[in-house]
């Protein structure tokens, strides 16, 4: 295969809701270009995309798949993506490396939940968009309604380029407003016959053509002057204006399709070739330090990785876009994130599961390389000394958190290793160990995303996992000062144990004054690993406790703070003043003062009006306007504080502060309430007091557990 330069490479990503026809369109595009001789069907599980065992078992896309076509002296790289928002970890990186997003809209259902959700990712990446109204051969297809919904949701930039002469099972003619001609297809699709626009449609077509010309002209002053002078633009002028509009996101051209019957796909591919921006025409990428990196063949070699796959026979495969320069087999590049040198031993272009080896790839192109040692998704490879690092892709944060453990304890290490490998393929998955609860917690984008992880664990790694609800990470603190003493005395023959500690504890806060009534001889301010502080003050006078025993007293206090007296949760924000005590010249030792310090602190804590605190999340919920009431009611039932509501078109955004204890499986509940249209994000805000009745209940439950233990 020949090497295409940066001006002749077009990178498109196919996006849309579940069942909008992305994989079918990808298959048709490959067929149209002659790269395959027979089109597969998703129903038959034989498409070039959707080739993994899990995809064929489920009958839908579960990962992004790289493909390519060669069409009229251009190379079109195609990335087919999943239509489910819970698999956005595959979709978002693909958008990041695409030059044009092809957004498929189901002609029967119009703008669906999935369409709206993927639009958020397109908008965040500020990519040019082509809209394709697909499945116009469906009996309930409604092109005009779909376009009206698109304009309502996405604005006046939605621009009709084509419209169907008929819809439903008889669909076979398309009026093209750029070329002002009618394409007539045979029943089996393929290359259409060009015919004049019928008399009955000329007035409508002329009006829409005029609107299209004005849309093209408004993006360039020179074209606008030409339009005013001549009252028209030729096809080249319109193409130039439409390209400028797409790049400025003031024009989202709309095309007609039946991908299943291969009607309209060739014209769409022609538009991608002739009008959609090439990699070289797109704005320069920006490095983390603010420098621009134009996509030029003569620039320094820079790769950006956007996908990692682990295959049983080939090992790790890394997919990348050449952001600048040219890369060749055998080239050494440096990972800008970690400084490791990687050798590009073999370069490939991908066609689903098949790969074709190439010796070089130029700026703008997409390829793959095997067995990089220390490079993951979203990282930059560049020439040594160039120090060019592109910003990583911002993936959606997890919305569902579950504990995970192996059903067979002997497989615990194997389970952990398996999840880490799955995480290499999908960085939107998180895995963390919660020290205070001793739990491993996995974070995913939803129930189906978690199900995909479980499938891989069972089928690929042969590990059975058990999932559950994580424990809430409560914290304990105090509200008033208190004092206590404890004498530890133990005689067992020979040397005994003796240590007596008198201490005072106080609630600590930033900027509090120095303690009164004592003389502070030494102070340690300890940042606790679970948050908050412990301030430990040595206030001993007269040598009643030797300085060598102070670390042991601190150790005892720290032990009790790790498992607080109320519920066994970590304590925080306490000042401890050790001001008196006794020791024995023979029996006093480190363990004696550790125990005495622990017990004195425990007694003082229980007298200091102890308070249980719970983590609060700042939650933002995006919900359709007509479902706002149900979602608000549900949030209020979760002890939420509603901070505000703002509207963006048909979508309302609720900002609330919600206790973590009330958010278990909230993403699942939200999808149920909103028929899949609602989404939410959350981030940690603060620790706040638990209501008294709930604190009493939690303390009682902890007491019962201690008795049982």
Asked whether 446 and 428 are in contact (CB, 8 A), the reply is: no
**CA-to-CA distance for 595 and 590, rounded, in angstroms?**
9
Asked whether 409 and 367 are in contact (CB, 8 A), the reply is: no
pLDDT by residue (tens digit) across 252-303? 999 999 999 999 999 999 999 999 999 999 999 999 988 999 999 889 999 9
Average pLDDT, the chain: 93
**CATH number of this structure's domain 285-382, picked from the four choices 3.90.1150.10, 3.40.50.80, 3.40.190.10, 2.40.30.10:** 2.40.30.10
The CATH number of 613-693 is: 3.30.70.240
**CA-to-CA distance for 431 and 443, rounded, in angstroms?**
6
pLDDT by residue (tens digit) across 32-63? 888 888 998 888 889 999 999 999 998 889 99
Asked whether 646 and 652 are in contact (CB, 8 A), the reply is: yes
pLDDT at 124 over 80: yes
Please, which pLDDT band fits residue 306 given cuts at 50, 70 and 90? very high
pLDDT by residue (tens digit) across 650-694? 778 999 999 999 999 999 999 999 988 888 999 999 999 999 999
Rounded to the nearest 5 percent, the helix, strand and coil shares of the chain are: 30, 30, 35
How high is the pLDDT of residue 626? 87
Sequence-ordered alpha helix ranges (H) in 220-376: 221-230, 235-248, 265-274
**CA-to-CA distance for 52 and 82, rounded, in angstroms?**
13
Could you please state the CATH topology (level 3) that the domain comprising 6-198+250-280 is classified under.
Rossmann fold (3.40.50)
pLDDT at 498 over 90: yes
pLDDT by residue (tens digit) across 568-613? 999 999 999 999 999 998 889 999 999 999 999 999 999 999 999 9
Q: Alpha carbon of 477 to those of 577, 677, 702: distances in Å?
A: 16, 40, 16
Query: Cα 47 to chain center, whole Å?
Result: 27
Percent over 90 (pLDDT), the chain: 79
pLDDT at 1 over 60: no
Asked whether 208 and 160 are in contact (CB, 8 A), the reply is: yes
Strand-strand pairing, 302-311 and 181-184: unpaired
How high is the pLDDT of residue 47? 92
How high is the pLDDT of residue 648? 66
pLDDT by residue (tens digit) across 246-262? 999 999 999 999 999 99
**CA-to-CA distance for 83 and 90, rounded, in angstroms?**
10
Tell me if residue 236 falls in helix, strand or coil.
Answer: helix
Q: Which of 145, 168, 149 is nearest to 158 (CA)?
A: 149
pLDDT by residue (tens digit) across 174-197? 999 999 999 999 988 999 999 999
Domains 285-382 and 476-608 share a fold: no
How high is the pLDDT of residue 649? 63
Q: Which secondary structure element, helix H or strand E, spans residue 512, and what is its range? A: none
Percent over 70 (pLDDT), the chain: 98
Please, which pLDDT band fits residue 349 given cuts at 50, 70 and 90? very high
**CATH number of this structure's domain 400-468, picked from the four choices 3.40.50.720, 3.30.70.870, 2.40.30.110, 3.40.47.10:** 3.30.70.870
Helices (H) and strands (E) in the chain, counts: 16, 37
pLDDT at 701 over 60: yes
Does CATH place domain 476-608 in 3.40.50.300? no
Domain boundaries, the chain: 6-198+250-280, 285-382, 400-468, 476-608, 613-693
pLDDT by residue (tens digit) across 125-156? 999 999 999 999 999 999 999 999 999 989 99
Strand partners, 653: 622, 646
Q: Please state the pTM of the whole predicted model.
A: 0.87
């Amino acid at each position: 295969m020949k090497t295409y330069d940066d001006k002749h490479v077009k990178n498109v990503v196919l996006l849309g809701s579940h069942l909008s026809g992305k994989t079918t369109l990808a298959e048709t595009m490959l067929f149209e270009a002659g790269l395959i001789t027979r089109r597969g069907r998703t129903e038959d599980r034989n498409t070039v995309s959707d080739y993994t065992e899990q995809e064929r078992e489920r009958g839908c896309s579960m990962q992004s798949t790289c493909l390519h076509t060669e069409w009229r002296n251009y190379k079109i790289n195609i990335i087919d993506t999943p239509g489910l928002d819970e698999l956005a970890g595959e979709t978002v990186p693909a958008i990041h490396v695409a030059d044009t997003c092809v957004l498929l809209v189901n002609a029967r259902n119009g703008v669906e939940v999935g369409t709206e959700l993927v639009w958020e990712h397109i908008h965040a990446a500020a990519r040019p968009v082509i809209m394709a109204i697909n499945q116009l051969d469906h009996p309930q297809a409604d092109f005009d309604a779909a376009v009206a919904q698109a304009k309502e949701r996405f604005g006046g930039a939605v621009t009709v380029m084509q419209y169907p002469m008929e819809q439903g099972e008889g669909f076979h003619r398309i009026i093209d407003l750029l070329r002002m001609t009618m394409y007539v297809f045979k029943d089996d699709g393929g290359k259409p016959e060009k015919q004049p626009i019928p008399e009955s449609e000329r007035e409508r077509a002329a009006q829409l053509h005029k609107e299209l010309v004005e849309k093209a002209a408004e993006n360039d002053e020179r074209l606008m002057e030409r339009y005013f002078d001549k009252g028209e633009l030729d096809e080249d002028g319109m193409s130039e204006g439409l390209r400028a509009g797409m790049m400025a996101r003031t024009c989202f051209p709309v095309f007609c399709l039946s991908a299943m019957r291969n009607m309209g796909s060739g014209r769409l591919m022609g538009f991608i070739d002739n009008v959609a921006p090439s990699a070289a025409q797109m704005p320069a990428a920006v490095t983390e330090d603010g420098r621009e990196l134009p996509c030029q063949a003569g620039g320094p070699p820079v790769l950006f990785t956007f996908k990692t796959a682990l295959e049983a026979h080939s090992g790790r495969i890394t997919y990348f876009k050449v952001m600048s320069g040219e890369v060749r087999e055998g080239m050494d590049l440096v990972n800008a994130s970690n400084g490791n040198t990687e050798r590009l031993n073999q370069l490939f272009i991908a066609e689903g599961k098949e790969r074709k080896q190439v010796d070089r790839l130029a700026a703008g192109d997409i390829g793959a390389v095997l067995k990089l040692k220390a490079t993951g998704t979203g990282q930059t490879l560049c020439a040594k000394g160039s120090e060019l690092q592109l910003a990583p892709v911002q993936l959606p944060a997890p919305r569902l958190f579950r504990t995970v453990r192996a059903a067979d304890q002997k497989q615990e290490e194997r389970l952990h290793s398996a999840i880490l490998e799955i995480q290499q393929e999908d960085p939107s998955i998180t895995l963390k160990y919660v020290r205070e609860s001793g739990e491993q917690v996995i974070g995913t984008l939803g129930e189906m995303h978690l199900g995909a992880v479980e499938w891989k664990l069972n089928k690929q790694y042969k590990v059975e996992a058990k999932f559950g609800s994580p424990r809430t990470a409560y914290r304990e603190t105090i509200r008033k000062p208190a004092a206590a003493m404890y004498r530890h005395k133990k005689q067992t023959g020979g040397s005994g144990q003796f240590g007596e500690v008198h201490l005072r504890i106080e609630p600590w806060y930033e900027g509090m004054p120095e303690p009164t009534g004592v003389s502070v001889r030494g102070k340690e301010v300890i940042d606790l690993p679970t948050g908050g502080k412990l301030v430990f003050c040595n206030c001993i006078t007269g040598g009643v406790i030797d300085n060598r025993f102070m670390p042991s007293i601190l150790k005892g206090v720290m032990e009790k703070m790790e498992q607080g007296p109320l519920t066994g949760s970590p304590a925080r924000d306490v000042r401890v003043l050790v001001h008196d005590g006794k020791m024995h010249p023979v029996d006093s030792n480190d363990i004696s003062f550790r125990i005495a310090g622990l017990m004195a602190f425990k007694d003082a804590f229980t007298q200091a009006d102890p308070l249980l605190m719970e983590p609060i999340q700042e939650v933002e919920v995006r919900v359709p306007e007509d479902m706002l009431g149900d979602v608000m009611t549900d949030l209020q039932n979760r002890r939420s504080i509603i901070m505000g509501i703002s509207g963006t078109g048909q979508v309302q955004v609720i900002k609330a502060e919600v206790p973590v204890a009330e958010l278990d499986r909230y993403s699942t509940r939200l999808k149920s309430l909103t028929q899949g249209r609602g989404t939410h994000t959350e981030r940690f805000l603060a620790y706040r007091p638990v209501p008294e009745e709930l604190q009493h209940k939690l303390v009682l439950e902890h007491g019962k557990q201690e008795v049982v233990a």
